[in-house]
Amino acid sequence: MLYMIIERFKNGDPVPVYRRFRDHGRQLPEGLTYVASWVTVDMTMCYQVMECDQRELLDGWIARGSDLVDFDVAPVITSAEAVQRMAPRL
């Protein structure tokens, strides 16, 4: 399953987030895969796609970062998958 993660850096401050990343990496548990990410120009938010089969792995990772980031999570599918799902209805 793919998940779109919207990260809002607490107090709009990216420094603690990037400092932790520099010092410790993504800290992903085995089974949770980073796919890609994009950061807003003002450096206050990050949009990140993660992949895993067990939602609890993602939830544990989020819990470890919640001191620095407020998270929103949405399960997503690729555009190609959306086209396949919609084809019978067109």
The 10s digit of each residue's pLDDT in 19-57 is: 999 999 999 999 999 999 999 999 999 999 999 999 999
Q: Give the burial string for 26-57 (b: 16+ CB within 10 Å, else e).
A: eeeeeebeeeeeebeeeeebbebbbebeeeeb
Check residue 84 and give its pLDDT.
96
CA 26 from centroid of its chain's CA atoms:
11
User: Looking at domain 2-89, which CATH architecture does it have?
Assistant: 2-Layer Sandwich (3.30)
Per domain, the residue ranges of the chain are 2-89
Mean pLDDT of 57-65: 97
The C-alpha atoms of residue 83 and residue 86 are separated, in whole angstroms, by 5
Contact 8, 48 (CB under 8 A): no
